[in-house]
Amino acid sequence: MSARHSLRLATLAASLLFAVGVHADTVLLNASYDVARDLYKDFNPAFQKAWQAKTGEKVEIKQSHGGSSKQVRAVADGLEADVVTMNQATDVDFLADKGLVAKDYHKKFPTNASPYTSTMVFIVRKGNPKAIKDWSDLIKSGVQVIVPHPKNTGNGRYTYLAAWGYALKQPGGNDKSAQDFVGKLLKNAPLFGTGGRDATTTFMQRRLGDVLVTFESEAELIAKEFGRGDFEVVYPSVSILTEFPVAVVDKVVDKKGTRKQAQAYLEYLWSKEGQEIIAENYLRPRDAEVLKKHAAQFPAIKTFTVDETFGGWGKAFKAHFVDGGSFDQIYSVK
């Protein structure tokens, strides 16, 4: 898909989602990843109310959702998002390299500019007919795995790195054994979703696959949309900690004069009310008190970070997702 076409789609998505506008003093556009639409549907009114109470100003928040990497390419190509709220640092780094976002964006907000975390879990059919309990079950013959595209989506990249990290942690694990393991897993993927929500639709509505690998939070969104009778959530023995960086798009807010509102909008994610909304959307809040309050909905799971296991997103991306990286090496022989 061309960059121009991506931009048209992202702009169209924003206009369709919020075609019915209200009179506002200021309009902000939040370009975000696919699965975050429900979170911000809840968060935006809370911020608008708080901001109006504090300043008297009415702010309208528009949303644009899609695969995270497609979204940042649209912003780089001219989509005038005031803020980006993504699911991995690589995508925001891309905008920083383009001069749209500060190089040190991760220092502009608390907790590495990630207001919440999650992890990758398995969604299986009710009764777990293929007895899927851990990553090793995903490479068994006859098991179909549904994931978004690992090269183009944040959800897919986290899945890929989670499986790779699991393999590294097995006795005698090394990069060769991890590549073999991930290769077997991808052979069990009949297709790749274009984003997290597309993969969910494939699994839940098209009824393809035995297991969907996705963010922990997506499981509850599935329950809200489809009910709890059709699936179960399986927590593997170990998975990856996922972080969700946010940033102000400097070039846009300076042009529009919206820096103050954009900064406040993102800062509100760390407020008590923002953290509560985050927890209610089954994302793990950073605030210790809020996390403790909602502890029952976040089962304990061993996690590893991209920094610990792969040396950071820059190294991980270069090793696995650039042209000719491990994904291409694996997929070319799939």
69-82: pLDDT as tens digits: 788 999 999 999 99
* Sequence-distant contacts of 178-184: CB under 8 A, at least 24 apart: 179/326, 179/329, 179/330, 181/135, 181/139, 182/326, 182/330, 183/330, 183/333, 183/334, 184/139
Q: What's the pLDDT band for 18 if we cut at 50, 70, 90? A: very low
pLDDT over 70 (residue 156): yes
129-144: pLDDT as tens digits: 999 999 999 999 999 9
Cβ atoms of residues 113 and 106 within 8 Å: yes
Domains defined for the chain, CATH in brackets: 26-114+245-269 (3.40.190.10), 118-242+301-332 (3.40.190.10)
Q: What's the pLDDT band for 21 if we cut at 50, 70, 90? A: very low
Specify the pLDDT at position 181.
Answer: 98
Q: Of the candidates 234, 282, 242, 235, which has an alpha carbon nearest to the alpha carbon of residue 161?
A: 242
d(CA 232, CA 128) in angstroms, rounded, equals: 7
φ/ψ (deg, to 5) at 2: -75, 160
Sign of CA dihedral 129, 134, 138, 144: positive
Q: State the average pLDDT over residues 155-170.
A: 96
269-281: pLDDT as tens digits: 999 999 999 999 9
pLDDT over 60 (residue 231): yes
- Structural tokens at position 11: 């702009």
Q: To the nearest whole number, what is the mean pLDDT of the chain? A: 90
Number of CB atoms found within 10 A of residue 78's CB = 12
Specify the pLDDT at position 222.
Answer: 85
d(CA 67, CA 155) in angstroms, rounded, equals: 9
Tell how strand 116-125 and strand 238-243 pair up: antiparallel
pLDDT over 80 (residue 8): no
Q: What is the DSSP letter of 257?
A: T
Q: Of the candidates 247, 311, 236, 218, which has an alpha carbon nearest to the alpha carbon of residue 84?
A: 247
Specify the pLDDT at position 13.
Answer: 46
Specify the pLDDT at position 33.
Answer: 87
Q: What is the DSSP letter of 205?
A: T
d(CA 65, CA 230) in angstroms, rounded, equals: 26
pTM score: 0.83
* Sequence-distant contacts of 279-282: CB under 8 A, at least 24 apart: 280/42, 281/38, 281/39, 281/42, 281/217, 281/220, 281/221, 282/118, 282/216, 282/217, 282/219, 282/220, 282/221
